[in-house]
Every structure is written in C-alpha cells, then in structure tokens.
Amino acid sequence: QQQVKQSPQSLIVQKGGISIINCAYENTAFDYFPWYQQFPGKGPALLIAIRPDVSEKKEGRFTISFNKSAKQFSLHIMDSQPGDSATYFCAASAGSARQLTFGSGTQLTVLP
C-alpha cells in the first residue's frame, strides 16, 4: 500500500516533443506529490510538486496533472530539450515526518 508505481521505465523523445511520465499510488493518506530530476552522480532535485486539492500545476515547460479519484498523477514536459535527459522520479509523502516514497524512476532521453 505504500508503493508508488511509475511508468514507463525508459522514454525516448525527439527534441521539441512532449514527454509524459505516469505514476499511481494506493495510500490515500498521501497528500504531497513531488517530481524529482536526477542527473548521473547527483542527488535528486525537486522539479515540481502538487497537493491533492488541485488537478493541475504548471511551472514553465513542466506540468503535473493529478487525478485524485484515480489515484494517479503524471508529469508532462513540453518542448523537451536534450538538457532534460535525466532520470525522473515521482514521489509521495504523508504524515508529520513527510518521508518520501519514491517511484522506480524513468530514464528520459531527448534526442537532438
């Protein structure tokens, strides 16, 4: 019940295309859903996050879509660039300690 399931495992997109990564969760206590970007040899960096009281959040080329009833959320990267090539993790947290439960990651490659 604590798992966050992420798909796809890997994604190849042409420059300028849209990258879409999906996540699903079971634990209805989760109330914070961040996406992290990780480059090789680096720690995860917070990209964008959403609370369940909104269905969409947009920051620049990055958008989170959130479907509370389906317990799913997704990351959309518009106008994907080669510099976006990285591993993307969805995550969820709940409770006072706010420990993060991560998805398994998506390795995104944007071709020039």
97: left (phi over 0), alpha (psi -120 to 50) or beta: alpha
The amino acid sitting at 61 is R
CA angle 49–50–55, rounded 5-degree value: 140
CB nearer another protein, residue 1 or residue 112: 1
User: Site residues (CB under 8 A) for another protein?
Assistant: 32, 34, 36, 41-46, 49, 89, 91, 93, 95-105
CB nearer another protein, residue 95 or residue 112: 95
Least CB distance from residue 41 to another protein, whole Å?
Answer: 7
CB nearer another protein, residue 27 or residue 101: 101
Least CB distance from residue 103 to another protein, whole Å?
Answer: 7
